[in-house]
Amino acid sequence: MRALRSPKVLAGSVLLLLLLLLAVVGPLIAPHSADWQADRTSGLPLAPSGRFWLGTDQQQHDLFSRLLSGGRDTLLISFLAGMFACLLSVVVGVTAGFVGGLVDDLLSALANIFLALPGLLILMVIMKPLPPSETSNPLLIGSVIALTAWAWGARVLRAQTLALRAADYVEAARVIGERTWRIILFEVVPNLLPILASAFIFTVIYGIGTYTALAWLGVISPASVTWGTVLNEAQSSGAAVNGYWWWYLPPALAVALVGIALALVNFGIDEVINPRLTSARTGRARGVVFRLGLTPVLKTAAPEPAAAPSNPVPLKEAQP
């Protein structure tokens, strides 16, 4: 939990919790229901005002209410996609890495093929014909998105499993007669957790982007309002060209905010996975500059060195 001490990670975690909380209670605290319309006669979106904090769209829906309501499905589905994808990547990656041989060759080839496929385009082809009854099922959509998202995690986990499989403690577990499934579950997988967490975060970022994009493009039309559907309506009404920025900007920022929160949390995970990449900040804060091949010299009388940058003294040409 030392990762939480980093301000970046703390900010990310707080932001993420806040967003999740909003997703849960958003529809309840919204001033109006998502489908509520203010004035059916006017055909022009209203700019933000005291009455409609984020303005309205062409159908006079209250966009603030839509923003609050739209997070629930969006976040639910991207987290589901992240979970399913992680599950898949653990199964594939750990199996490939631990079993090795032909199984590894086949699973790795499969993962590489999925990595080369443009996931979003395939999802478009698959999902376009689906009726709304199915596209509003979070479990289904989440798992279909996961199908295009597991390969990266599987690759990373496979590489790490391959390294762990050769670790001495795995051999030691074999020596005392542990069964293979126990070795995998209790010796290997716990050591994969940081990488798995990082893979999860990236998959959720991918999931939210993909799901929103699918809704924005009108490939899927979920029964309820999501950030993606708001963007879709804005897109088809030419909101960007017409300058209705309050229509598409808030949901876009909301998606961006989720991504940023997750990325900030990932900084903490990175620190656990590879402390080397972040640890050198300590010295600089005290004004010491570390350069490869030029160890700093801080000559002070005090037992504890004070903060003073080393000043390379010009060479006195040595006397014979």
Partner 1 sequence: MTGEPVLEVRDLCVDYGVGKGGVRAVTDATLTLRRGEVLGLAGESGSGKSTLAYAVTRLLRAPGVITGGEVRFHGPDGVLDLLEADAATLRRIRWDQISVVFQSAMHALNPVARIDAQLTDALRAHRAQLGPAERRERAVELLRLVGIGEERLRSYPHELSGGMRQRVMIAMALALEPRVVIMDEPTTALDVVTQREILDELMQLKDRLGFAIVFITHDLSLLIELADTIAIMYAGRIVELADAQRLFHSPRHPYTLGLLNSFPALHGERVRMEGIPGAPPALTALPAGCAFHPRCPFALERCAHDVPRLTEPAEPDGAPADRSAACWLHTGGEQVPEPLARVLGSTL
Partner 2 sequence: MTSTDTARVVHGPKRPGTPALEARGLTKHFPVHGGLRRGRVVRAVEDVSLALPEGTVTAVVGESGSGKSTLSRLLTRLIAPTAGELLLDGEPVGDSARARRGYAGQVHLVLQDPFSSLNAVHSIRYHLQRPLKLHHGLRGSELDARAAELLERVSLTPAERYLDKFPHELSGGQRQRVAIARGLAVQPRVLLADEPVSMLDVSIRLGVLNLLDELRERERLAILYVTHDIASARYLADTVVVMYAGQIVESGPAVQVTDEPAHPYTRLLLSAAPDPQRREPVLLRGRGAPPSLIDPPSGCRFHPRCPLAMPVCAETAPPVRPAAGDQVAACWLLDPERAPGTTPA
Partner 3 sequence: MRTLLRRLGFYLLAGFAAVTLNFFLARLLPGSALQNALAKLRGANLDPDAIRALEAQYGTGGDHSLLSQYLTYLSSLLHGDLGLSTSQSAPVSSILGDTLPWTLGLVGTATALAFVIGTLAGIVVGWKRNGLLDGLLPAVTFFQSVPYFILAFLVMMTLGYFGGFFPYQNGYDIGRHAHLTPGWNGPFVTSVIEHGTLPALTVVLASLAGWVIGMRNMMITTMDEDYVLVAAAKGLPQWRVAAVAARNAILPTISNFALSISLVVTGSLVTEIVFTYPGVGWQIYQAILTGDYPLLQGILLVVVFTVLAVNLVADLAYVALDPRARKEA
The contact set with partner 1 (CB under 8 A) reads: 280, 282-283, 286, 288, 290-300, 304-305, 307, 312-320
How far is 79 from 19, CA to CA, in rounded Å? 13
CB of 109 to partner 3, least distance (A): 6
Residues 80-119 that bind partner 3 (CB under 8 A): 109, 112-113, 115-119
How far is 66 from 68, CA to CA, in rounded Å? 5
Q: Looking at beta carbons only, is 37 or 218 nearer to partner 3?
A: 218
Of the candidates 8, 32, 48, 272, which one interacts with partner 3 according to CB under 8 A? 8
- Ramachandran angles phi, psi of 62, nearest 5°: -75, 115
* Residues contacting residue 95 through CB under 8 Å, at least 6 positions apart: 103, 107
Nearest to 49 by CA among 246, 242, 250: 246
* Site membership for partner 2, residue 100 (CB under 8 A): no
- Cα–Cα distances in angstroms (integers) from residue 247 to residues 72, 110, 250, 293, in the given order: 19, 41, 7, 55
Q: Looking at beta carbons only, is 169 or 290 nearer to partner 2?
A: 169
Give 129's DSSP letter.
T
Q: Looking at beta carbons only, is 52 or 248 nearer to partner 3?
A: 248
What mask of x and - would describe binding to partner 3 in positions 207 to 226, judged by CB under 8 A? -xxx-xx--xxxx-------
**Contact, 26 vs 71, CB < 8 A?**
yes
**Contact, 310 vs 296, CB < 8 A?**
yes
Residues 126-155 that bind partner 3 (CB under 8 A): 126, 128-129, 152, 155
* Site membership for partner 3, residue 256 (CB under 8 A): yes
* Residues contacting residue 96 through CB under 8 Å, at least 6 positions apart: 103, 104, 107, 108, 111, 154, 158, 161
In the three-class reduction of DSSP (H, G, I as helix; E, B as strand; rest coil), residue 294 is classed as: strand
Q: Looking at beta carbons only, is 291 or 316 nearer to partner 3?
A: 291
Binding residues (CB under 8 A) for partner 3: these are 8, 109, 112-113, 115-122, 124-126, 128-129, 152, 155, 205, 208-210, 212-213, 216-219, 231, 240-241, 243, 245, 248-249, 252-253, 255-256, 259-260, 262-264, 267, 274, 276-277, 280-281, 283-284, 289-290, 292-293
Binding residues (CB under 8 A) for partner 2: these are 167-169, 171-178, 186-187, 190-191
